[in-house]
Chain A
Amino acid sequence: MTSELDIFVGNTTLIDEDVYRLWLDGYSVSDAVALRVRSGILEQTGATAAVLQSDTMDHYRTFHMLERLLHAPPKLLHQLIFQIPPSRQALLIERYYAFDEAFVREVLGKKLSKGTKKDLDDISTKTSITLKSCRRQFDNFKRVFKVVEEMRGSLVDNIQQHFLLSDRLARDYAAIVFFANNRFETGKKKLQYLSFGDFAFCAELMIQNWTLGAVDSQVDDMDMDLDKEFLQDLKELKVLVADKDLLDLHKSLVCTALRGKLGVFSEMEANFKNLSRGLVNVAAKLTHNKDVRDLFVDLVEKFVEPCRSDHWPLSDVRLFLNQYSASVHSLDGFRHQALWDRYMGTLRGCLLRLYHD
C-alpha cells in the first residue's frame, strides 16, 4: 500500500511557522521531518512519523505554490487562490525576505550577477547555510535590486511599496542594494570584524547625504548612485593637507581645544597629520570608481587601525572627530565649508560606527 496522492486544502491556508522556517532554511522534506521528530513533536501530539511526513509534504507544497507570489508580495495580497489572514501574509513575506547575517556579509557589495550566483556553492560550504537558502537570499537581493533600480523616489519607500517589508527590513535591503550598486568592498580580511549592521548604518548615512537624492528628489536612482558632482568637488578638500600652513593651523586648533580632555592626547598630537591626510585623501580619491569601492578598506586602514593600535577609547575618537570637523570652520583660508560638512558629517558617523574591535 503506497500513498499515491495525499493533499489537504483549507479554505484558510494553513501556515505552520516551524515548517515554514525549515522550508526557508532550505531543508529537504526528509531532513525537515527528521528535525521535527527531534523537536519532540511526536511525543507532544501522539502523531506518527507517517503523519508528520504527510504534513510536512503538504506544507512544502503550499509554500512552493506561494513562492511565486512571494516574489511580488503585492500579488500575495491581491491574489484570490490562497485565503490568508493579513497578519499571516505579513509574516510570510517578512520571513521570506529575511536573510542570514553570515550570508549577507559574504555577498554584500558584490555584483548581483550570475558570476556571484556560481559562488554560492562556496558560500554555502563556508557559512553552512544550505545552498537552497543561499539561492533564495541571493535571488531576493537581486529581485529587489532589479525592481528598484532606475526608480524615482526614496529607496526605502520604493522597497517598502513593492515588497511590503517592515521598515527595518526595507532599510536593510536599501543598504544591500546601495552596496551592490556601488560595489563597496566588504570582504577583505581587515573588514571581517565589521557586521552587516555596521555597513547598513554607513549605507544609510551615505544615502542620506552623499547621493543625488540628497540634493534632488526628482531623479531616477536618486538614492542608489553617489552624487558625482559632489565626488568631483571633494578634490577641493585636498588643500587641507596640501597647504602646510592650513594643516598646521588645523592641528593647533584641534590640539588647543582637546588638550586635557583626551586620554590619548599625545598619540593624537603625534598622529594628527597622518590621520588628517588619510581622511582627506580618501575624499579626494573618490572620483575613481575603484577608490569608491575601497572606501571602507581605506577608512579602516587610514583611520580605524592607527587609532586602534594606539588604543584610543571610543569616547576619545568621538571627541577628536567632532573637534576635527568643527575646527575647519575656523580656518579662514578654507572656502569649502559646506562641502566639508557634507563629507565629514557622514564620515564622522561612519567612522564612529566602524570603530570597534
Chain B
Amino acid sequence: MPGKLKVKIVAGRHLPVMDRASDLTDAFVEVKFGNTTFKTDVYLKSLNPQWNSEWFKFEVDDEDLQDEPLQITVLDHDTYSANDAIGKVYIDIDPLLYSEAATVISGWFPIYDTIHGIRGEINVVVKVDLFNDLNRFRQSSCGVKFFCTTSIPKCYRAVIIHGFVEELVVNEDPEYQWIDRIRTPRASNEARQRLISLMSGELQRKIGLKVLEMRGNAVVGYLQCFDLEGESGLVVRAIGTACTLDKLSSPAAFLPACNSPSKEIKEIPFNEDPNPNTHSSGPSTPLKNQTYSFSPSKSYSRQSSSSDTDLSLTPKTGMGSGSAGKEGGPFKALLRQQTQSALEQREFPFFTLTAFPPGFLVHVGGVVSARSVKLLDRIHNPAFVGIMGNTRSYKLLDWNSFNSDEPETRDAWWAEIRQEIKSHAKALGCHAVVGYSESTSICEEVCILSASGTAAVLNPRFLQDGTVEGCLEQRLEENLPAGCGFCHIPYDELNMPFPAHLTYCYNCRKQKVPDVLFTTIDLPTDAAVIGKGCLIQARLCRLKKKAQAEANATAISNLLPFMEYEVHTQLMNKLKLKGMNALFGLRIQITVGENMLMGLASATGVYLAALPTPGGIQIAGKTPNDGSYEQHISHMQKKINDTITKNKELYEINPPEISEEIIGSPIPEPRQRSRLLRSQSESSDEVTELDLSHGKKDAFVLEIDDTDAMEDVHSLLTDVPPPSGFYSCNTEIMPGINNWTSEIQMFTSVRVIRLSSLNLTNQALNKNFNDLCENLLKSLYFKLRSMIPCCLCHVNFTVSLPEDELIQVTVTAVAITFDKNQALQTTKAQVEKSLQRASTDNEELLQFPLELCSDSLSSHPFPPAKEHLESASSNSGIPAAQRAVTVEKASPMGEGNFRNRAAPPCANSTVGVVKMTPLSFIPGAKITKYLGIINMFFIRETTSLREEGGVSGFLHAFIAEVFAMVRAHVAALGGNAVVSYIMKQCVFMENPNKNQAQCLINVSGDAVVFVRESDLEVVSTQQPPANCQPLCTGGEVTT
C-alpha cells in the first residue's frame, strides 16, 4: 500500500444548461480511482458551481497508480430520473510519480463528452504521497521517466544508453463486444477510452520494469501505438530506448562551455541504485567524462515459436547506399570487434533515438527496413477457430477465455521483423540500428507490419563500461573528422552488400563514402552541409483486386516489393533533381486499403559536403531514330537540367571547387553518363573507381520506354517548389537556417478526397494522390504566409484509406519564422565558431576538445570569398536554440549581438499560453524541466453530423478540442509547452446517410517548462565572462 492519492474538486465553470426549465444545472462530481468512488455535494442551480470539496483520499498500490487513470465525472442531479452525465475528465497521474517532475496537478480541465465534445471546465487539484517501500519496484516501476523526445532531453545528460525496450498488451476492443449492440454509443466510447488509458498505463509500467531491470532510469524516444484490429482486438504496443539519465543542475547548464572540470556538477541519478559503471568524475577533458555504456542485459522479448500463420510473406528491403575505403584496416576491425561484443549480447541493438550525444554515431550504413503481411483472423487460438469456424457468432462468447495467448503471437510477429532488421544491418556491416521505428497498417483482416531504421556503427567508447585505452581513443578521434565521419562506409569495400559507387570523402579525403546516403535519423549536428535542405516526397498508389484472407495477403505481399522499389526510385530521382545527395528522416509509409495500396515516403534532402556531387538525370528514348521523338526527349532533358540548375540556386547549393591536386585521387567528372536503368541500388553497374581508374561519374538515366516512364518523368517535374520565403523539412532542424525567432505555429491539417470514377487506373490514382499532397502543401504555404520568412519543420504526413474510394491525408508540422537579415549579418567567423559547437547535442556538458576544433577548422574547405558566405553559414546545422544555449551569456560579444538586433517582443507571452511543437526544442527558449509524458486518447462521435457543420466542422472542432485538452493538462502540471508532440492516430469514419461520424485521436508529447532566453539574459549577464572567449564569441543569442 505504498501510495495515497488525494483529489480535491474546487469548482466548475461554463457548464451546459441541463435543466431547460430553469436554464441552470444542479451539478455534482464523482471521483473514481480503481474501484473506489467519492462524490461531491450537489451544487444547486448554477452553471459555475463552487464545490470546494474536501480532499478525497485513495489508498492504493503504486501499481494501480501507474495503470489507472483518475476518472472525474460531472453529472447533473435529477431527483426523479437518472442523473445525466455532463462529461468526464481523465487525468493521468503518472507525472506525479517521479521524484522531480510535477508535484501537483492543479488547474482547469475541459469536461469532455464523447458525444457533445467539451462542455465547460472543472478545477481539480491532485496530489500523491508515495511511501517508500523496499519492494516498491517489484510490480510497479514508479520513478522511471518517459520521454517522447528522440534525443537526450535537453536538461539531462546520458550516463548510459542501455538500448531497446519493447512491450505490447492486447485486449478485446469494447466496440466489438456484443454488449455494444445494446450499449449507448457514449457508454461504448467511454469504455474504450478507459480501456486504452488503462492499457497504456499498464504498458508503461511494464516497460518501466524492464528499464529498471536494465538498471536504467528513463526511456527516451518512447513511442506508443494502438492497433485497432477490429474484431480481433486492440493492441497497444510501445518501443523506446532505455537510458540512465543524469539531471544537469541548472547552474551548470547556464555556464558557458569551458574546459573546466569544476563545472561538472553531478546529481545523483534518480534511481536509488548507485550505478557502479557510470561516470568517474574529475578528468579535465569532460568529453571523456561521459562514459556511455551499454550494460548488457537479457532480452525481454518473448521468443515464442513461430505462430500459426504460415503466411509469413515478408518482402525485405535493405536500402542502403554507400561504400567506403579500407582505410584504417586493423583498427576498424578492432573497433568492430569491440562494438560487436558489446552489442551482440543484446537481442536487438536498436535505438529509437534520431539524434545522439556527440561521438556516439561513428558510421551510417543506410536505411534498413522490413515489412510483413499478416492475417489477423488467424491469431485466435486454433481450438477456438475450430469450434467457431469463421462465423461471427463468437461475439456472444466470453472473449477472455480465447485470446489469452495473443500477445505472444504479436510478439512473435514483431520479433521476426526485428530479426530481419538486425540481419539487414549486419549485411551493411553495422551492429546497431538507430532512428528505429515500427508501424502497422490494417485493413479488415490484413495487417502490414513495418519496421525501419538506419544501420549504424556506434562508438565503442560509448558502448563499453569503464575506460578504453587512451591510444585507441586517440586514433578514434583522428579517424572521426568533424562533419564527415558518419558518412564513411561501415562495410567492407571488397565485400559490399550491394553494388555501390564509392569515392573518397570530399571532406577528409581519407575514407570512402557512398554517392548517396539515405537515413531515418536527424541530420547530425556536426554534419557539414552545403546550402539548405528541402522536403522530398515520393508518392505512389497501386490498385489491387479486392480479395479475401490469404488471397488478399498474397496479393499485397506480391505488390510490396514493387512499391518499395518505385518509391525508392522516385526518391532518388527527386533527390537528384534537387541537386542533393543525402536524405535524412526518411519515413516510408505503406497503407493498405480494400482495393489499393498507397506508398508515401517523406524525407529531408540535403547536400552533404562529404559526398560527391550528384550526377544529373539523363533521359534516354528507346527509339533513337525517330526525329520528333528525339526532339521531345531533348526538350524534356532540357527541362530537367533547367530544374536542377534552378533548384541549386534555390537551395544555395554551390559546393566549393576542389582541385584534384589537393587530394591526389581521381575526381569523378560530373555529367559523364553511364547507363543505368532504375536499378534498386542506384549507381550500381558502374565499377567502383578503385578498380577502374577512369572513375566515371554516373548520371542517373531514365529510359523512357513506355507511357509509364513518361508519366514518371512528368510527375518529377510537377512538384512545384514552395513559394519564396518558405522552406520545409521533416527533420527537427533545417540545415542552413539557424536564426529562428520565437514565433512558432504548430498545426494539424486533414484532407479527405473521394475518388470519382470506378474504373480507376494506376496513373489516375497516382495523379489524384499527388495532387492531394501538393494542394495540401500549397494550402499550408498560403495559410502561413504571414509568417514568411518561415520554415515548416518536422512535416509529418500520414495516409490512410478509411473506405473504398476515400484517401485521407493528415499533416502535422510546425512553422517557425526566422530572421532573414540576421542570416546575412552572420560573419564567417561566427559560422566557424558555430561549427565548432556543431556537434554539441547535449550542449550543457558540451565541452569541446580543442584538438577537434582546430581540426575541423583546418579541414574546412570553404574559401573566404563573400559569395560563399551563405553556403558557409549553412554548415552550422544546429538549431539556434541549442546554439544560443551553448554560446551562453558569458560572452560579451553575444550580448552585443543581442542588443544590436531588433529583438522581438517577448513580453507578450501571456499567462496560460501553452506552446505545442513536434520538435524537441523551442526556438529562443531553454527547457528547464520535463514534467512527464502526455499520452491521450479521445473518441468523438456524432449523430448530428450536418448540424455540426458536416465532416469538416465535426473534425475541426474535435481537433481543436484535443489541442485544448492537451494544453489544459500541461498547464495543470505547471508546464507551458509540449515538445515532441505527435498525433499518432487520427481515425475518421463517417456515415453521411445516417448523419453520423466517429473519430479517434491519439496524441503524445513531453510536457515541459521553458524559459525565454531573453529572460535568462538578465541572470547571465551577472556572471563573469569566462576565459573561453575563443570558443564562445560570436554566437548569436536568439530570442
Contact = CB atoms under 8 A, between A and B. Distances in A.
Interface of A: 1-14, 45-48, 50-52, 54-55, 57-58, 61-62, 64-65, 75, 78-83, 85-87
6 contacts: A6-B952, A7-B750, A45-B785, A78-B13, A82-B960, A87-B908
A50 B751 contact: no
Main secondary structure of the interface of A (DSSP, over half): mixed
A8 B783 contact: yes
- In the complex, the 10 A-B pairs of residues with the closest C-beta atoms, listed nearest first: A5-B752, A10-B747, A4-B752, A11-B746, A9-B959, A7-B956, A11-B916, A80-B964, A8-B749, A5-B951
Given A7-B751, A11-B746, A50-B775, 13 more contacts: A4-B752, A5-B988, A11-B915, A55-B782, A57-B952, A65-B953, A65-B956, A80-B108, A80-B964, A80-B967, A81-B963, A83-B967, A87-B908
A95 B76 CA distance: 36
Given A11-B915, A47-B782, A48-B778, A61 B752 contact: no
Contacts of B913: 83, 85
Contact of B14 (A13, A54, A64, A78): A78
A271 B956 CA distance: 70
Contacts of B751: 3, 5-7
Nearest to B815: A10
B1036 to A, nearest CB: 25
Contact of A45 (B723, B908, B951, B988): B723
A5 B963 contact: no
B168 to A, nearest CB: 31
Contacts of A62: 956
A321 B810 CA distance: 72
Contacts of A75: 14
Contact of A1 (B13, B108, B753, B964): B753
Size category, B interface: 35 or more
A1 B110 contact: no
B314 to A, nearest CB: 34
B747 A11 contact: yes
A65 B785 CA distance: 23
A82 B778 CA distance: 24
Given A10-B745, A45-B782, A81 B956 contact: no
Nearest to B755: A1
Given A4-B753, A47-B778, A80 B968 contact: yes
Interface string B1-34: 0000000000001100000000000000000000
Given A1-B755, A4-B806, A9 B779 contact: no
A16 to B, nearest CB: 8
Contacts of B782: 45, 47, 51-52, 55
Contacts of A9: 747-749, 956, 959-960, 963
A4 B949 CA distance: 12
Given A4-B753, A9-B747, A81-B118, A51 B778 contact: yes
Given A55-B783, A80-B121, A7 B952 contact: yes
Contacts of B754: 1-2, 4
A289 B230 CA distance: 72
Contacts of A12: 745
B756 interface: yes
A116 B772 CA distance: 48
B951 A86 contact: no
Nearest to A87: B908
Given A10-B747, A47-B782, A80-B118, A85 B963 contact: no
Contacts of A4: 752-754, 806, 951
A108 to B, nearest CB: 30
A64 B960 CA distance: 14
Contacts of A83: 913-914, 963-964, 967
Given A61-B956, A75-B14, A83-B913, A1 B747 contact: no
A3 B768 CA distance: 11
B771 interface: yes
Interface in B774-817: 775, 778-783, 785, 806, 808
Contacts of B780: 8
A288 B23 CA distance: 37
Contacts of A5: 750-752, 808, 951-952, 955, 988
B992 to A, nearest CB: 9
